[in-house]
């Protein structure tokens, strides 16, 4: 079914003119146009949302990186990464203090 852009009358798909008002029927009905507009708006909003999420994810990753670098240290002998409160290296046993 095709709907008239002017009066909304339902017409057969093969109709070229509206049976109610005589308007030339375009291939895309007003309902389809409305759906297209809404779909475009949803797409724009989804893209904006994605950009916000990406920005927040980058900020979160940066904060994780900063916090993990401040809570770890390395063994002076074997370079094993250790927790900041470690007294001895878990790999070679070196006294860290």
Burial class (CB in 10 A: 0-12, 13-18, 19+), 25: buried
Does a structural domain hold residue 88?
A: no
Does a structural domain hold residue 94?
A: no
For the chain, what is the domain count?
A: 1
| Residue whose structure tokens are 């979160």 | 60
For residue 71, the model assigns a pLDDT of: 65
Does a structural domain hold residue 89?
A: no
Please tell me the pTM assigned to this model: 0.41
Does a structural domain hold residue 71?
A: yes
64: containing domain: 2-83
Does a structural domain hold residue 66?
A: yes
Does a structural domain hold residue 93?
A: no
Query: How far apart, in Å, are the Cα atoms of 71 and each of 31, 81, 83?
Result: 59, 10, 6
Does a structural domain hold residue 92?
A: no
Cβ neighbours for 70, distance < 8 A, ≥ 6 positions apart? 84
DSSP state, residue 87? S
Does a structural domain hold residue 16?
A: yes
Q: Are 90 and 72 in contact (CB under 8 A)?
A: no
Question: For the segment 16-74, what is each residue's pLDDT rounded down to a tens digit?
Answer: 999 999 999 877 666 777 888 899 999 999 999 999 999 999 999 988 877 665 567 88
- E-strand ranges in the chain read 2-3, 10-11, 72-74, 81-83
């Amino acid at each position: 079914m095709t709907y008239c852009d002017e009066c909304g009358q339902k017409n057969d798909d093969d109709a070229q003119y509206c049976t109610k008002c005589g308007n030339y029927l375009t291939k895309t009905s007003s309902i389809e146009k409305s759906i297209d507009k809404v779909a475009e708006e949803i797409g724009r909003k989804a893209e904006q949302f994605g950009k916000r999420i990406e920005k927040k994810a980058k900020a979160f990753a940066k904060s994780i990186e900063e916090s993990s670098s401040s809570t770890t240290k390395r063994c002076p002998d074997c370079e094993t990464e250790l927790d900041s409160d470690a007294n001895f290296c878990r790999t070679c046993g070196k006294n860290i203090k």
